[in-house]
Amino acid sequence: QVQLVESGGGLVQAGGSLRLSCAASGRTFSSYVMGWFRQAPGKEREFAATTSRNGGSTDYADSVKGRFTISRDNAKNTVYLQMNSLKPEDTAVYYCAAVAKVLLSTVVAAEGKYNYWGQGTQVTVSS
């Protein structure tokens, strides 16, 4: 099992940047594909970004591609989401998620494939 705790959310003006962190418990963090999802008010949760077990492969939703960067530090059991050029429509609760996979290069964009979730961190972008 793995427990996930997000941090780094807050209020930022449009065009600004934030870096989210997700710290994982346990000694097998490198066994997990990690993902970031977000849920805006009144909307369903949606995929934002994912990174493979070794960080060598990533995938992004079209809405964040070129602005967000997912990365991980397996020595620190932490995955990050660097968010630049933020827009008001990026306002949401951001969740990190984990799923164990065998292959090092696998990435997972499907929400239903993840079985561990953090509690979420609020990001608010003002116009």
| 3-state SS string for 54-121 | CCCCEEECCCCCCCEEEEEECCCCEEEEEECCCCHHHCEEEEEEEEECCCCCCCCCCHHHCCEECCCE
Question: Would you state the pLDDT for residue 28?
Answer: 92
- pLDDT (tens, 9 = 90+) of the chain, 127 residues, equals 899 999 999 999 999 999 999 999 987 999 999 999 999 999 999 999 999 999 999 999 999 999 999 999 999 999 999 999 999 999 999 999 999 988 888 999 999 999 999 999 999 999 9
Residue 105 has a pLDDT of 87
Position 22 scores a pLDDT of 98
CB 97 within 8 Å of CB 37: yes
Q: What do you get for the CA distance between the two ends of the chain, in Å?
A: 40
Residue in 6, 1, 40 with CA at minimum distance from that of residue 118: 6
Taking alpha carbons only, the member of 91, 7, 95, 113 closest to residue 42 is 91
Q: Which amino acid is at 15?
A: G
- Cβ neighbors of 62 (< 8 A, separation 6 or more) are none
Q: Which two tokens stand for residue 38?
A: 């977000």
